[in-house]
Structure formats: structure tokens, C-alpha cells
């Protein structure tokens, strides 16, 4: 089944404790992206990647890192999480940069 998977789905952590949210797609998509969703603010793009080893900042990249070492994986790293990073995070992938984006199920992160 074609899909985007994210792990974990729920995470509660404390300020400053490094964490990684994994994202993987099995559709051989070139384009991958991370978004955060907060009430009243819609979906905001954090980082995106056009291909392996090619990443670029979205609208809200501060406090986040990403890597794209393999085509299928695009992990999101929070080196020192803070409470303002409490949010619902979505990973998405698309065949091309202008194509339909397939979203993962989301990761609900709470930083206390």
C-alpha cells in the first residue's frame, strides 16, 4: 500500500531533550516536506527536500533540522525542544515539487 508513515504518533517530552520524528514513504517520491499545524494558523512548512541531499527552509525552520540521506526517509530533528514547539506535525511527499502531496498520519508532540 502506497503510504507515508510517521513515528512516533504521539510524544510527550521535556524541554531540551533531543528528539527525532521519522518519516518514510514507499512511493519513490522526489519531494518531501514537514509541516506543523497549530489552531488558527493552518499548516506551516518547516523544511522541504527536492531530492536526496537537497533540503531547504520553509516558512518556520527555526529550532528544527532535517536530513535526506535516502530518498524514502526524511527525519525531523529537534535538538533542544521548547514548549512553543508543541504542535501537530505532518510529513508529506510528492512525486514532483508541483504534484499532489500525500500526508502522513501526523505526530502530536507536547513539550513540557
Cβ 42 to other proteins shortest distance, Å:
4
Please give the grid coordinates belonging to residue 17: 531533550
Please tell me whether residue 97 binds other proteins under the rule CB under 8 A. Answer: yes
Please give the grid coordinates belonging to residue 78: 529537534
**Rounded to the nearest 10 degrees, how much is the dihedral formed by the CA atoms of 89, 95, 53, 20?**
20
Cβ 58 to other proteins shortest distance, Å:
6
In the sheet with 4-7, reading across from the earlier edge strand, the strands are: 4-7, 19-25, 76-78, 65-66
Strands 42-51 and 107-111 come out as unpaired
- CB closer to other proteins out of 4 and 78: 4
* Residue 108 to residue 86: CA distance in whole angstroms: 8
> Could you say which of 25, 87, 93, 101 contacts other proteins (CB under 8 A)?
101
Site for other proteins in 26-65 (CB under 8 A): 33, 35, 40-45, 48, 50, 56, 58-59
Cβ 51 to other proteins shortest distance, Å:
11
Please tell me whether residue 10 binds other proteins under the rule CB under 8 A. Answer: no
Interacting residue ranges for other proteins, rule: CB under 8 A: 33, 35, 40-45, 48, 50, 56, 58-59, 90, 97-106
Amino acid at each position: 500500500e502506497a503510504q507515508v508513515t510517521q513515528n512516533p504518533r504521539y510524544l510527550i517530552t521535556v524541554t531540551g531533550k533531543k528528539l527525532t520524528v521519522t518519516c518514510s514513504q514507499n512511493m519513490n517520491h522526489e519531494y518531501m516536506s514537514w509541516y506543523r499545524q497549530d489552531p488558527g494558523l493552518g499548516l506551516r512548512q518547516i523544511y522541504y527536500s527536492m531530492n536526496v541531499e537537497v533540503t531547504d527552509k520553509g516558512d518556520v525552520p527555526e529550532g528544527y533540522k532535517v536530513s535526506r540521506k535516502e530518498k524514502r526517509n526524511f527525519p525531523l530533528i529537534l535538538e533542544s525542544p521548547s514548549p512553543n514547539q508543541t504542535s501537530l506535525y505532518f510529513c508529506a511527499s510528492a512525486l514532483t515539487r508541483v504534484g499532489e502531496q500525500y500526508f502522513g498520519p501526523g505526530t502530536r508532540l507536547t513539550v513540557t
